[in-house]
C-alpha cells in the first residue's frame, strides 16, 4: 500500500506528539515530525511529504510565510495550517499562502483526518470560506482588484449557463473535477471544458478567482452552507 506522508511542523514537541498519536492508527498514513527550528525546508526536501501540517504561531519564523515557501518550492506538497484561533484576517492571509485548509489547533482527530483525506484527493477545503465568510470573500476580491487582475468593470464576456453555475458552486466547495463529474453524472473531460468556459467568460485567472467573482456578481450567494461531503 502506498502511504501518504504527513509531516507535522510545529515548535511544541507535545503538540507534535499529540497529533502524531491521533494519526498513528491510520495504515495509509506515514507520520513524520519536524521541528521548525531545524531548517524545515531542508527536512521537507529530504522526504517530500504529500501533506504538511503547519502551526501558524511559530516564534522563530513566521508560520504563514513558511507555508508560502513550502507551496512555492514544493508544489506537490499540500499545506494545512493549524492555528490557535484563526480570525478573518488570519484566514485571509492563509488563503494568500495557497494552503489547502486551515483548522483550529483544538480540532478533533476526526476533522483533522477528514481534512487530510480531502487534501490528499486534491480538494481545497479552504475554498468553502469564500461562501461562509463574506468578509474574507470581499478581501480576496479587493486583492485581485489591487493587483489589476480584474479587467475593467465587472462585465462578463457571456452569461453563464445553468450548468456552469452548478459547477461553480462545486468549485467554491473545493471539489475536484472528478468529484464534480461524479456528482453531476457527466464526464471529467466535460467538466474541464465547462471550467475553461467559465474562466473565459468571467475573465478569471484560476478557479479561486472565478469563485470570488461569481460570489461578487451574485451567481453564488454569500453565507450559504457548503454541501455535505
Q: Residue 160 pLDDT more than 50?
A: yes
pLDDT at 99: 87
Residues of the chain with pLDDT > 70: what percent? 82
Q: Residue 8 pLDDT more than 90?
A: yes
CA-to-CA dists, residue 50 to 5, 27, 90, 145, 211, angstroms: 5, 15, 24, 32, 25
Q: Among 56-70, 99-113, 127-141, 176-190, whose mean pLDDT is lowest?
A: 127-141
Contact 10, 54 (CB under 8 A): yes
pLDDT at 155: 46
What domains are defined for the chain?
Answer: 4-122 (3.40.50.2300), 132-216 (1.10.10.10)
pLDDT at 225: 47
Q: Quote the distance between the C-alpha of residue 153 and its chain's center.
A: 28
Distance in angstroms (rounded) separating the CA atoms of residues 168 and 145: 21
Q: Residue 126 pLDDT more than 80?
A: yes
CB atoms within 10 A of CB 118: 21
Residues of the chain with pLDDT > 90: what percent? 27
Express each pLDDT in 173-212 by its tens digit.
778 889 999 999 999 999 998 988 888 888 777 787 787 7
**Cell output for 12:** 511544541
Distance in angstroms (rounded) separating the CA atoms of residues 48 and 5: 8
Q: Residue 228 pLDDT more than 70?
A: no
pLDDT at 89: 81
Q: Confidence band (pLDDT; 50, 70, 90) for 143? A: low
Q: Confidence band (pLDDT; 50, 70, 90) for 226? A: very low
pLDDT at 146: 54
Q: What is the mean pLDDT of residues 60-68?
A: 78
CB atoms within 10 A of CB 102: 25
- Assign 161 to helix, strand or coil: coil
53 against 157, higher pLDDT: 53
pLDDT at 181: 93
141 contact partners, CB below 8 Å, separation of at least 6 = 212, 213, 215, 216
Express each pLDDT in 74-107 by its tens digit.
888 999 999 888 888 888 888 878 888 999 998 9
pLDDT at 227: 46
146 contact partners, CB below 8 Å, separation of at least 6 = none
- Assign 51 to helix, strand or coil: strand
Amino acid at each position: 500500500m502506498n502511504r501518504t506522508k504527513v509531516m507535522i511542523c510545529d515548535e511544541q514537541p507535545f503538540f507534535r506528539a499529540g497529533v502524531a498519536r491521533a494519526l498513528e492508527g491510520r495504515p495509509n498514513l506515514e507520520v513524520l515530525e519536524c521541528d521548525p527550528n531545524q531548517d524545515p525546508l531542508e527536512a521537507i526536501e529530504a522526504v517530500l511529504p504529500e501533506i504538511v501540517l503547519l502551526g501558524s504561531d511559530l516564534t522563530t519564523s513566521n508560520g504563514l510565510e513558511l507555508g508560502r515557501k513550502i507551496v512555492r518550492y514544493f508544489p506537490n506538497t499540500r499545506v494545512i495550517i493549524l492555528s490557535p484561533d484563526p480570525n478573518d484576517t488570519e484566514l485571509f492571509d492563509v488563503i494568500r499562502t495557497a494552503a489547502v485548509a486551515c483548522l483550529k489547533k483544538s480540532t478533533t482527530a476526526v476533522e483533522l483526518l477528514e481534512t487530510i483525506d480531502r487534501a490528499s484527493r486534491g480538494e481545497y477545503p479552504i475554498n468553502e470560506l469564500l461562501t461562509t465568510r463574506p468578509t474574507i470573500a470581499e478581501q480576496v476580491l479587493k486583492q485581485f482588484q489591487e493587483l489589476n487582475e480584474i479587467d475593467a468593470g465587472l462585465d462578463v464576456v457571456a452569461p453563464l449557463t445553468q450548468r456552469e453555475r452548478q459547477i461553480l458552486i462545486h468549485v467554491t466547495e473545493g471539489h475536484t473535477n472528478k468529484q464534480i463529474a461524479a456528482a453531476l453524472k457527466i464526464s471529467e473531460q466535460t467538466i474541464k471544458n465547462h471550467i475553461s468556459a467559465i474562466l473565459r467568460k468571467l475573465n478569471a485567472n484560476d478557479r479561486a478567482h472565478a469563485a470570488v467573482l461569481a460570489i461578487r456578481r451574485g451567481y453564488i450567494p454569500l453565507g450559504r452552507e457548503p454541501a455535505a461531503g
